[in-house]
Amino acid sequence: MILLHDPRTRRRRLGVAAAAAGLLSALLTAGPAVATPDPGDAPAKPREVSKSAQAEARQAIAGGDIPAQDAIVHSANIEHLANIPKDALPGTNSDLAFQGKYAFAGNYDGFRVFDISDPKAPKTVAQVLCPGSQNDVSVSGDLLFLSTDSSRSDSSCNSTTQPATEKSSWEGMKVFDISDKRNPKYVAAVETACGSHTHTLVPERRNVYIYVSSYSPSAAYPDCQPPHDGISIIKVPRSAPEKAAVIDFPVLFPGEGPDGGGNPGAPTNPGVSKTTGCHDITVLPSKDLAAGACMGDGILFSIADPERPKVIDRVQDNVNFAFWHSATFNQKANKVVFTDELGGGGAPTCNAEIGPDRGADGIYDIVGKGDRRKLVFRSYFKIPRHQADTENCVAHNGSLIPVKGKDLMVQAWYQGGVSVWDFTDSSRPKEIAYFERGPLSTENLVTGGSWSAYYYNGYIYSNDMAKGFDVLKLDDRRTDPAKRIHLRELNVQTQPDYFD
């Protein structure tokens, strides 16, 4: 049954019970911060919450304040067209990429290819078993790129987990030939320092450059030594992808000492992640710009020379941002939305205890010109619906909805669901549509919800960590002009110029 709720009715004090019991505090102060529960290949184990939090969740469901377990609710301007449950790949679903009539969905056990020519009835075209979290996925032409961020015995798709303390262990980028979508072929592997948590493509006619983000080095890891204060750059020749190789490791946070020059984290900045690399980078090739979300820092840099990125500005928020997770430019490239993944994606942070400014989006204007451009903070945005303390919920991956003259975005919030919001006025963002499911459990904190929610050729596609691949249709006069925009390819971290 589908129920419709006015989100204003959801502003109750969910979240106080669990915090009082100490669970939430432990989740938010544990370190080092990670982008998602990263257990290797197994799903995160459920964590029991206090009896009072369990009772609060049940009361909230009974009172209509949150959806019932597994129930679906949404705003009147969204329609749920389809859901494709997980099949041969039982691991955690992760990121999405698009090309023509196909969607590519990452999973900790590999990736899946969908035919989305009929969005109401997507069809599975291929499922590739290749374990190695997170399996962040991108595509360019006949090539597909897959991030591996768990220490493996080797670079094959038959590898097993192996401690990062062993020199023979492997982490990094995998490259597949997808000229035949029904039969992807593994063609190359490139090891990178500290693996590849995420990656971003800077495609050119002859080559594809890959900016590899990774973090959390240790003196005990032979292939992940501190200071890890930059990104790996891989060059992939399109005509010979087997020759893909790391060409540089530019330092983005120069500084003296073993930890480099990034945010020092605690105890200097309590509750903030120490910067030991970047989590995610978004590039805007048409403007030669990139924005980096780098644990304790947000950066703006030039990619006029993609082999030599140059930092223009750097910001910190040591009051409300715990973990700089991802970035999104608006179309005019005069704003950046950064996300804070407070609690690493495994904590219940969409409640009254945490409040509206933490685990949220930070909206920054870009002011000035050229290398003198600066990032200027304007406001925070967080979904206006409190979630139960058995639901992991925090700002996560999203994309622009291309409407000329407006700044609109769709975004995943794990078990907070999918939110569509307007940040045309940087200081007064507002939600205009939403979709979500009820908690996976009312007794345990079970990790799930939408990892990525992206707008592509008239529809919203969401990869739910537990429930599978969702297709949503948005009907709203504010977003309808976007239906006229059709792309041949979309990797959200490589933002297109929609109106060029």
Q: Which CATH superfamily is domain 2-490 in?
A: YVTN repeat-like/Quinoprotein amine dehydrogenase (2.130.10.10)
Nearest-5° angle of CA 442, CA 446, CA 447?
A: 140
β strands within 275-383, DSSP E: 280-284, 289-294, 297-302, 310-315, 324-329, 335-340, 361-367, 374-381
Could you report the per-residue pLDDT of 45-72, keeping only the tens digit for each?
A: 888 899 999 999 999 999 999 999 989 9
Report the distance separating Cα 333 and Cα 286, nearest Å: 10
* Size (the chain), residues: 500
Report d(CA 183, CA 162) in Å as an integer.
Answer: 28
Helix (H) or strand (E) holding 26: helix 23-29
pLDDT tens for residues 252-278? Answer: 999 877 778 999 999 999 999 999 999
pLDDT, tens only, 73-130: 999 999 999 999 999 999 999 999 999 999 999 999 999 999 999 999 999 999 999 9
Over residues 418-437, mean pLDDT: 98
The answer, yes or no, to whether residue 23 has pLDDT greater than 60, is no
Mean pLDDT throughout 166-177? 98
Cα–Cα dist 254/261, whole Å: 5
What's the rounded Cα separation, in Å, for the pair 364 and 407?
13
Q: Are 21 and 15 in contact (CB under 8 A)?
A: no
Q: Measured between alpha carbons, how far is 92 from 157 in angstroms, rounded to an integer?
A: 17
Residue 336 and residue 375 in contact, taking contact as beta carbons nearer than 8 Å: yes
Q: Give me the pLDDT at residue 256, please.
A: 76
| Cα–Cα distance, 442 to 50 (Å, whole number) | 11
Q: Identify the CA nearest to 343 among candidates 396, 410, 291.
A: 396
Q: Evaluate if residue 38 carries a pLDDT over 80.
A: no
Predicted local distance difference test score (pLDDT) of residue 25: 58
**Mean pLDDT along residues 297-316:** 97
Sign of CA dihedral 266, 268, 269, 273: negative
* pLDDT reported for residue 41: 45
- pLDDT averaged over the chain? 92
Please list, residue by residue across 165-196, b when 16 or more beta carbons sit within 10 angstroms of its beta carbon and e when fewer do.
eeeebbbbbbbbbbeebeebebbbbbbbbbbb
> What is the rounded distance in angstroms from the CA atom of residue 138 to the CA atom of residue 104?
8
What DSSP designation does 181 have?
A: T
Nearest to 486 by CA among 495, 499, 467, 468: 499
Residue 101: count of CB within 10 angstroms of its CB:
14
Strand 72-74 relative to strand 2-3, pairing = parallel
pLDDT tens for 211-268 read 999 999 999 999 999 999 999 999 999 999 999 999 999 999 998 777 789 999 999 9
Identity of residue 356: P
As a whole-number percent, the residues of the chain with pLDDT over 70 amount to: 91
Summarize the confidence of residues 186-193 as an average pLDDT.
98
What is the distance between the alpha carbons of residues 449 and 438, in angstroms, rounded to a whole number? Answer: 10
Give 449-478 pLDDT, tens digit per residue. Answer: 999 999 999 999 999 999 999 999 999 999
